[in-house]
Structure 1
């Protein structure tokens, strides 16, 4: 009965988060609506959109409903406060195969800085590879290529402030480039995580900072005048843009913890069975500065701390809904290794596959 009660306690919290996504008001002055309705008008108002792409196969197998779990190295992306739950020295590398030949990669590591403090570093890249230039150059050659690429280097500090509350902050250097043009700057993420009664509640804000602006040698152009005269030198300008500001609120719980508590003091099969299984349920509400709000729910079943099966569903996204994933983990002799895979079908652009390799030394 305790397990059933826990499920019913979690459901209202998830529904409240979902209903909140529709409770935002409209600003008639500039016709900007902060809800999930079709009247939303700020799509395309931010740059460096790769910062919104979730990292890691485990979390994406749960549709990104991870800000309250955040107990592995993807915490540096979802909620830096969760980094305190990573034990020992750890490293993580992820590869994502996207549509159109794009690749999305993530590398992260963490080292302990005392009993209650952790320091982490992460690198994220998003690249198109070589794209053929379809316009003619001055010599009428077509064998010219260019690339579109993004890069983010982050440093994270997380602390366990009390037995139930942790805090984390990440400073990120972000660079985006298109051919010979590029923009760069520094932004910050902050996150908090609170644990109580078998629940985890997380909040995070990502990409706090100023505006970015593209610059580069391709902005310097020669203009041929209509009348015979010397060519004119011109310096083109670009418009500054904002990064996609994001706020996430999430809740997660381990539904099998009640079973373990139920059988802990009894010498029967129940305690062993409860320890062999773990079932996580999580939900995230996310509001962004340039697209409608989104709501995600995810689940993870773990057998014997060895095999994992994951699934999730996202509402409010124009491409992603369902997701699924698998994982395998091996521990022994102070070694802890994991291999995870996730798949996410899009509505019109095919499948997105991710694979993550993790290593931890206690």
Structure 2
């Protein structure tokens, strides 16, 4: 079992290193960078290696096919103080529509900053009474369905809106994903294509969306009584940088306490991530999960994420 997983990880990581050696750099050639920010303290705590795990509400970001694996209604809330005095928040509601053979999810995420004073060369410290704000918002609808007992697929439609002072831009995008249980031990393969859509236009300039392809594998390498160990590896191809790899693990104790860790390779700033989670019952038919993640962003500082899930 362990040998099989090592081979699977190698198949993901080795191509990443090979492509990375080509130094295919196109930094700054796409817009809507907020779409790259990872969602969910659990996923980020596992080093953002989540495209094949995708079994909670954060699947709306990592792999929409994972929404089909959710068996109860879920309300999910995420927040983190992002870099340079910005804040990133996300909320999702996953539910069974009953009139459709699958699961639906409504979700919204935003990157924003507080109002800033207008600065000029004459008043570099700010002009009293003159302020501006800026932010980005993505609102989406996800539909996912299990087509067999081993294979599920999902699609997300997003409306995007960005603003800077009195200048705004809007666009639409789509995400597609699949999940496949191989039948070999607990090995699962996930794939997703994100941010396929039209360009965002500010004044006379337009920029493409950061269309991203992800593929990954995950497996429970140990499971005995009260202890479970889940490992995962992802490989991604961004449009504006070299290929990247992510690896991570989650150790669960008594289905109550979770320890997580992981790392990204090929990133300019993102590196080590650590996480912690608690699951507690709130009633006979509902439970809550609280997750925390720490991410080392190198020269950008540390990022702390908090997520709360309510399942009912």
TM-score, with structure 2 as normaliser? 0.94
1-structure distance, mates of 2:21, 2:210: 19
- The unaligned stretches of length 5 or more in structure 1 are 1-5, 24-34, 216-237, 258-273
1-structure distance, mates of 2:232, 2:222: 14
2-structure distance, mates of 1:99, 1:338: 26
* Residues 330 and 133 (structure 1), Cα distance of their counterparts in 2 relative to 1, 3 Å cut: same
Q: Which residue of 2 aligns with 1:339?
A: 290
Q: Which residue of 2 aligns with 1:201?
A: 189
Q: Which residue of 1 aligns with 2:43?
A: 59
2-structure distance, mates of 1:180, 1:85: 42
Q: Counterpart of 2:127 in 1: which secondary structure?
A: coil
- The unaligned stretches of length 5 or more in structure 2 are none
1:70 equivalent to 2:70? Answer no
1:37 CA drift (Å): 3.8
Q: Counterpart of 2:176 in 1: which secondary structure?
A: strand
Q: Which residue of 2 aligns with 1:174?
A: 160
Q: Which residue of 2 aligns with 1:118?
A: 103
Residues 68-123 of structure 1, C-alpha deviations (whole Å, 9 max, x = no match):
00000000000000111212111100011122211010100111134951000110
Q: Which residue of 2 aligns with 1:3?
A: none
1:98 equivalent to 2:82? Answer yes
1:12 CA drift (Å): 1.2
Q: Which residue of 2 aligns with 1:211?
A: 199
2-structure distance, mates of 1:307, 1:182: 44
* Residues 281 and 181 (structure 1), Cα distance of their counterparts in 2 relative to 1, 3 Å cut: same
Q: Which residue of 2 aligns with 1:318?
A: 268
1-structure distance, mates of 2:86, 2:121: 24
1-structure distance, mates of 2:253, 2:119: 52
Q: Counterpart of 1:13 in 2: which secondary structure?
A: helix
2-structure distance, mates of 1:13, 1:343: 27
1:109 equivalent to 2:109? Answer no
2-structure distance, mates of 1:131, 1:341: 30
2-structure distance, mates of 1:193, 1:41: 30
Q: Which residue of 1 aligns with 2:303?
A: 352
Q: Which residue of 1 aligns with 2:230?
A: 280
Moved over 6 A (4+): none
CA contact (8 A) 1:80 1:156 kept: yes
Q: Which residue of 2 aligns with 1:246?
A: 212
Q: Which residue of 2 aligns with 1:83?
A: 67
* Residues 141 and 315 (structure 1), Cα distance of their counterparts in 2 relative to 1, 3 Å cut: closer
Structure with higher Rg: it is 1
Higher strand share: 2
2-structure distance, mates of 1:141, 1:293: 41
Superposition CA RMSD, Å:
1.8
Q: Which residue of 1 aligns with 2:136?
A: 150
Q: Which residue of 2 aligns with 1:330?
A: 280
Q: Counterpart of 2:270 in 1: which secondary structure?
A: coil
1:38 CA drift (Å): 7.2
1:205 CA drift (Å): 0.0
TM-score, with structure 1 as normaliser? 0.81
Residue 307 of structure 1, aligned match among 257, 267, 278: 257
